[in-house]
C-alpha cells in the first residue's frame, strides 16, 4: 500500500515537471515568435554601430518608430536588412552634396547626431538606381540609411525606397553580442 502511494506521488511529481517544462517552452516560443526576436547582423552597412555577426534583440512592441531608431526591415531586399530611421512621414528629405549631409525639412542632420562622422552622407553615382530628391516621406513610411553610408543599400535606392511601417519587423532594443557591447543601444 505504501509502495503504491510512493509510486503515485512520484508519477504526480514527474507530470508536474513535464507540465512546467512544456509551459516554459511554449511561453518562450510565443515570446520569441511575436514579441521579440534575436537577429544576427549580416553585412557591413551599419558599421561602425553594428558589425557582421553582431546579435541584437528586436521587438515589434517597442513603441512607435522614430528618428534615430535602428530597425529590421523585411520585404525590401531578398534578406531582412538593418538600418537607421532618419526621417518619418511627412518630412522632406534631400542631400547637401557639398557638405555630405542629409537634409530633413531644410535642416542639415549631421552624422554626429547618430554617433557617426560628419560629412559622410552622399548620393552614390549610380544612374537609374536612385530616388530623385527632394522626396517627401509618405504616410505610414520612414526613410532609412545605413550607418556605413558609402556601403549601404538603403532608402536612397529604388530597390528599398521609402519603407512602409508594415515592413518593419521591429526596433533593436538590446545588444546581445559581442558581450562588450551588451546592453541597450545608445
Q: Which residues are catalytic?
A: 45
DSSP track, 107-138 = EEE-GGGGTS-SS-----S-TTSB--SSEEPP
**Angle at 65 (CA atoms; ends 59, 67), nearest 5 degrees:** 130
Nearest alpha-carbon partner for 146 in 120, 180, 168, 178: 120
**Which triple of cell numbers denotes residue 100?**
555630405
Helix residue spans in the chain (DSSP H): 2-30
**DSSP-assigned beta bridge partners for residue 36:** 59
Q: How far apart are CA 169 and CA 57, in angstroms?
A: 11
Q: Are 175 and 186 in contact (CB under 8 A)?
A: no
Amino acid at each position: 500500500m505504501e509502495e503504491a502511494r510512493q509510486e503515485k506521488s512520484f508519477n504526480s511529481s514527474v507530470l508536474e515537471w513535464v507540465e512546467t517544462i512544456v509551459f516554459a517552452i511554449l511561453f518562450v516560443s510565443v515570446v520569441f515568435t511575436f514579441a521579440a526576436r534575436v537577429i544576427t547582423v549580416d553585412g557591413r552597412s551599419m558599421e561602425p554601430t553594428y558589425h557582421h555577426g553582431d546579435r541584437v534583440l528586436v521587438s515589434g512592441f517597442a513603441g512607435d518608430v522614430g528618428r534615430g531608431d535602428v530597425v529590421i526591415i523585411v520585404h525590401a531586399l531578398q534578406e531582412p536588412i538593418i538600418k537607421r530611421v532618419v526621417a518619418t512621414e511627412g518630412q522632406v528629405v534631400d542631400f547637401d552634396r557639398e557638405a555630405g549631409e542629409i537634409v530633413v525639412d531644410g535642416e542639415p542632420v549631421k552624422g554626429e547626431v547618430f554617433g557617426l562622422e560628419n560629412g559622410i552622407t552622399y548620393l552614390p553615382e549610380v544612374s537609374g538606381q536612385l530616388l530623385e530628391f527632394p522626396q517627401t516621406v509618405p504616410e505610414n513610411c520612414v526613410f532609412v540609411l545605413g550607418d556605413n553610408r558609402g556601403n549601404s543599400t538603403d532608402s536612397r535606392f529604388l530597390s528599398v525606397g521609402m519603407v512602409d511601417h508594415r515592413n518593419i519587423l521591429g526596433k533593436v532594443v538590446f545588444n546581445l553580442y559581442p558581450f562588450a557591447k551588451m546592453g541597450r543601444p545608445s
